[in-house]
């Protein structure tokens, strides 16, 4: 697609996403359209600056490369516990490839089964340790007060541009760097007095961005060339989340617009902070691993049932022919692909990849973003699928957020533990926050799709 077509498709996507939010708004007459327009403008300007202005792009590339180098240090600890990471194309033969006795080291062809085995090996012994290390490092930054200063700069900028309250500005900025249950700690003193609109902004921001640990996971899954794009997606999703939140639940009350980061520290000393971060990282890593085990197993079971039904009814052949062999049988991915294909089109996805990208969007919403990125990594590696660069860009940005059904429970549990009096509001707004977070990620994908035809290095 040419540049003009990309821009038109992107604008159609943005307008369509805003229209969906408007349809679900709790008070359409109270919507502050100046805030909405300034938020969209801020998102587009940030994307242009990061992706198209050379010296700013180079600066962000240095930051993202620094993150990648930092994540590489986790390999030292992982290698000590689990052994060295095998060289590319050389693997211990197991049941996946029975060409030689178990334990024999041989070069193998990159078929789908071997790709899955390599992915599982990488996930267990490389990705999960990285999550633990990054959680501990984030705790160090928080204890030293460095993270709070970065959050304050982002919050001050968004507060000025979009006329937000201090609490929601801080929450939106914190969500760029830390998780949806950790970000509320930054605004803990404000939580009890926050309005419903502010709580909506907090929850939607958590749904629309990813935490540092998941950032590390995604980079490990897709490769270091994607690090800048994960960072960009999380940053430009912050104003998008504010836009969707303020359409879905507009502010009608007077709010405190002063921006002040609480001076609370994580832990009594540096070693205590490292210990807390490590413990939190272990919990997150175990949770991610267990969640993937359960959900991927359930998807496999559902696909087996659907495949049997497809064989009985002839749907397998229909799906195979309709998708040119990209989906061999009638399965959950093909169903989600068809449902979300119109959304994929609105985001600028090339027509030949609509069902593939649609299946990723559906998986992310119905299950979670990690499963979506696992599937994307397999699609990228599978030569038979031949996913276009444009589709990879759009999927990378659209999946970059916690907006899925399980996050509703995570936020209700995590935030209400800090502020029990807000629990009724949290339960009331949970589904709206999911809608807002999902659409914010789609807005980010539409903006990225307007500007990029490939993952730039």
pLDDT (tens digit, 9 = 90+) per residue, 212-249?
767 777 787 788 888 888 889 888 898 999 999 999 99
Given a cut of 60, whether residue 94 has pLDDT beyond it is: no
Distance between CA atoms of residues 235 and 325, nearest Å = 37
pLDDT band at 320 (very low <50, low <70, confident <90, very high): confident
Going from N- to C-terminal start, the domains of the chain cover 3-451
Quote the longest CA-to-CA distance of the chain.
72
- Please tell me the pTM assigned to this model: 0.81
Q: Is the per-residue pLDDT at 442 higher than 60?
A: yes
* Residue pair 178/308 in contact by the 8 Å Cβ criterion: no
Reported as a single tens digit per residue, the pLDDT across 262-277 is: 666 667 888 898 888 8
The per-residue b/e assignment along 410-422, b for 16 or more CB within 10 angstroms, e otherwise, is: bbbebbbeebeeb
Q: What angle do CA 81, 83, 87 make, to 5 degrees?
A: 145
Question: What pLDDT digit, counting tens, does each position of 368-402 carry?
Answer: 888 888 889 888 887 778 888 889 989 999 998 88
Task: Please give the average per-residue pLDDT across 63-90, as a whole number.
Answer: 68
pLDDT exceeds cutoff 80 at 26? yes
Mean pLDDT of the chain: 80
Q: Does the pLDDT value for residue 440 go beyond 90?
A: yes
Burial class of residue 220 (count of CB atoms within 10 Å of its CB; 0-12, 13-18, 19+)? buried
Distance from C-alpha of 404 to C-alpha of 149, rounded to nearest angstrom: 30
DSSP-derived secondary structure for 287-305: HHHHHHHHHHHHHHHHHHH
Helix 212-222, helix 112-122: angle, nearest 10 = 150
pLDDT at res. 106: 39
pLDDT value of position 5: 79
Residue 52 phi, psi dihedral angles, 5° rounding = -120, -20
Q: Report CA-CA distances (Å) from 292 to 52, 82, 182, 323.
A: 36, 20, 22, 27
């Amino acid at each position: 697609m040419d540049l003009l077509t990309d821009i038109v498709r992107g604008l159609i996507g943005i307008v369509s996403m805003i229209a969906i939010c408007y349809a679900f708004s709790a008070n359409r007459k109270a919507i502050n359209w100046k805030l909405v327009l300034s938020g969209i403008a801020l998102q587009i300007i940030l994307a242009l600056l990061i992706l198209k202005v050379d010296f700013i792009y180079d600066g962000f590339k240095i930051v993202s490369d620094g993150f990648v180098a930092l994540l590489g240090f986790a390999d030292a600890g992982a290698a000590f516990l689990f052994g060295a990471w095998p060289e590319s194309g050389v693997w211990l033969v197991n049941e996946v490839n029975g060409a030689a006795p178990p334990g024999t080291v041989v070069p193998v062809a990159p078929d789908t089964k071997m790709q899955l085995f390599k992915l599982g090996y990488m996930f267990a012994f490389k990705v999960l340790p990285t999550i633990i290390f990054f959680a501990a490092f984030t705790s160090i930054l928080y204890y030293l007060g460095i993270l709070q200063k970065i959050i304050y700069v982002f919050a001050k900028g968004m507060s000025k541009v979009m006329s937000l309250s201090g609490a929601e500005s801080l929450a939106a900025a914190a969500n760029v760097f830390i998780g949806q249950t950790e970000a509320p700690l930054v605004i803990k003193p404000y939580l009890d007095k926050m309005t419903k609109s502010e709580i909506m902004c907090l929850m939607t921001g958590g749904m629309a961005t990813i935490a540092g640990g998941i950032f590390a996971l995604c980079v490990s899954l897709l490769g270091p060339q994607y690090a800048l794009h994960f960072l960009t997606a999380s940053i430009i999703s912050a104003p998008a989340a504010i836009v969707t939140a303020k359409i879905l639940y507009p502010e009608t009350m007077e709010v405190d617009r002063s921006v002040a980061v609480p001076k609370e520290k994580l832990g009594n000393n540096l070693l205590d902070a490292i210990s807390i971060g490590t413990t939190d990282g272990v919990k997150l890593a175990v949770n991610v691993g267990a969640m993937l085990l359960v959900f991927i197993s359930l998807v496999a079971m559902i696909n087996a049932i659907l495949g049997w039904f497809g064989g009985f009814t002839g749907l397998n052949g229909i799906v195979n022919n309709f998708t040119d062999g990209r989906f061999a049988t009638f399965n959950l991915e093909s169903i989600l692909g068809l449902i979300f294909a119109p959304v994929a089109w609105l985001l600028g996805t090339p027509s030949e990849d609509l069902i593939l990208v649609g299946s990723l969007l559906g998986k992310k919403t119905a299950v979670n973003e990690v499963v979506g990125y696992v599937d994307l990594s397999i699609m990228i590696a599978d030569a038979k699928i031949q996913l276009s660069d444009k589709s990879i860009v759009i999927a990378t940005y659209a999946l970059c957020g916690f907006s899925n059904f399980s996050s509703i429970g995570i936020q209700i549990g995590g935030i209400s533990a800090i502020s029990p009096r807000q629990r009724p509001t949290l339960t009331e707004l949970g589904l709206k926050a999911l809608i807002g977070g999902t659409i914010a990620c789609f807005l980010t994908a539409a903006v990225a799709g307007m500007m990029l035809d490939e993952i730039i290095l």
